[in-house]
Amino acid sequence: MTDDLERRLAAGTPGAALDLNRLRAAITHRAAEEGLIDVAYGAYDSPIGALTVMVSDRGLVRVSYPGDGIAAQLEELADRVSPRILEAAALTDQVRRQLDEYFDGTRRSFDVKIDWRLVRGFAREVLAVTSAIPFGSVSTYGEVAARAGSPRAYRAAGNALGSNPIPIVVPCHRVLHAGGGLGGYSGGLDRKRYLLNLEEAS
């Protein structure tokens, strides 16, 4: 069957792509059944661009914006989490479904486990504090730094937020400058504005 599939793909015959998709699905299903996938990832088409959702056996480990350098991120996951990574969108369904609800305005908080293995030290504390900022509310870099245990470390807090591997779900878009300015955002300020406006309108 594999030889036949290869011949059909080489010839560009109709149905070859369908067969290849079935083969990929079968391989993914088998790998999942046998516990061979430690990190699964899948695309998510959001109102603010095509995201990539990555989950490990411990929970959501990364949400990537377009242009974030997926190859480098997968390499980091291979180094720091596990090299057993496979594109398997079905294994990310829970997160993608909750993102749908969030963007539809029917979800105000996410109910998914988080895998924090890409975050350490003070950055972990900053993101834990950020996770607790309620939907529709905002905080400042200084307030987040203080709650994380280092009131003067607002620049370090900003750096931690700027490298947040799980944007939207860990809502770093809710952190602003003390004067009300937007500050920075890894996904770009247009996306930050969109998310804040979405939450204000919901």
* Residues designated as active site: 172
CA 102, 189, 80, 39 torsion-angle sign: positive
Count CB-CB contacts under 10 A for residue 1.
7
Instruction: Tell me the C-alpha distance between 117 and 184, whole Å.
Output: 24
DSSP tag of 24:
H
DSSP tag of 174:
G
Six-digit token string for 8: 């059909």
Instruction: Tell me the C-alpha distance between 95 and 83, whole Å.
Output: 22
Instruction: Tell me the C-alpha distance between 99 and 167, whole Å.
Output: 11
| Closest to 47 in 3D by CA, of 169, 188, 162, 191 | 191
Angle subtended at Cα 189 by Cα 186 and Cα 190, rounded to the nearest 5 degrees: 120
Tell me the three state secondary structure of residue 177. Answer: coil
Contact 127, 160 (CB under 8 A): yes
